[in-house]
Amino acid sequence: FQPDDKLCALVDALKDSFPILIVDDGSGGEGCADVFARAQALGAAVIHHRVNLGKGIALKTGIAHIVQLDADIPGVITADADGQHSPADIARIADAMAEHPDALILGTRDFSKMPARSRTGNTITHFAFHASTGLDVSDTQTGLRGLPRNLFPQLLELAGERYEYEMNMLLAINAWGARFYEVKIDTIYIDGNKSTHFHALKDGLRVFSRVMKYAVSSLVSTGVDYALYLLLTSFDFNVA
């Protein structure tokens, strides 16, 4: 959404190693149109949303396009357009996908190198996610991920239109019977992350609410199971 020259630099660095698909999420404006045209001239394929629909929808648009394009592709790597994900780290994700072809690959950042606001939000979400799911995912908000082909059907059906889609993906790991594998990546924040379209309050609450909803649901289910256990054990089922 509304990328600048950093997108073209990323495409230029990756074009000899990967086929590249860009989803324009309704950016609009001549400046953005020029960026997408230059990225396309460098070899990237570009598909467009007429209006801004959100990151979750954009990711599903990209996956659906790839499914139709190539039935044999082993998976995709999702990367941000703003320079936060280096070509070297993207290559590391690809290597991990080759070693763990059926796992969800997560690029994990060093929280100590994040700006204070991002570090606090990520730390709280990490602990809440771990407490509610039992999964120790180091970086729940990373956008650099390797998505294996075996999960494409579930990813296309997964709820979430905006940034919460990526959290929903992690919350679904247990239900899908999926595995995840983490790869350490560089922690890059350009100009204090001023170019991000992530709104700390609105989008942060949307993401965190998914974790809380999952936690409450888990607690209710546990309470119901325990109540039924107590109820059943209070009866004598011995037959004369």
| pLDDT tens across the length of the chain (240 residues) | 999 999 999 999 999 999 999 999 999 989 999 999 999 999 999 999 999 999 999 999 999 999 998 778 999 999 999 889 999 999 999 999 999 999 999 999 988 887 777 777 778 888 888 888 889 999 998 999 999 999 999 999 999 998 889 989 999 999 999 999 999 999 887 665 555 555 554 545 565 576 666 555 554 454 555 555 555 665 555 554
Alpha helices in the chain (DSSP H): 5-14, 30-41, 55-69, 87-99, 116-133, 152-157, 164-171, 173-176, 202-233
CA-based nearest residue to 89, from 186, 15, 22, 9: 186
pLDDT at 229: 57
Between CA 111 and CA 109 the distance in angstroms is 6
Q: Quote the radius of gyration of the chain (alpha carbons, Å).
A: 20
Q: Is 75:149 a contact under the CB 8 Å cutoff?
A: yes
Between CA 74 and CA 45 the distance in angstroms is 18
pLDDT at 219: 46
Using the CB atoms, write b or e for 176-207: b if 16+ within 10 Å: eebebebbebebebeeeeebbebeeeebbebb
- The 75-78 sheet, strands edge to edge: 75-78, 145-148, 104-108, 180-184
pLDDT at 35: 97
CB atoms within 10 A of CB 131: 11
pLDDT at 237: 53
Task: Give bridge partners of residue 46 from the DSSP assignment.
Answer: 22
CA-based nearest residue to 141, from 109, 113, 115: 109
pLDDT at 226: 53
What type of residue is 28? G
Q: Is the pTM of this model over 0.75?
A: yes
DSSP 8-class letter at 200: T
Q: How many residues does the chain have?
A: 240
Question: How distant, in Å, are the alpha carbons of 75, 81, 88, 93, 119 from that of 184?
Answer: 20, 19, 11, 9, 16
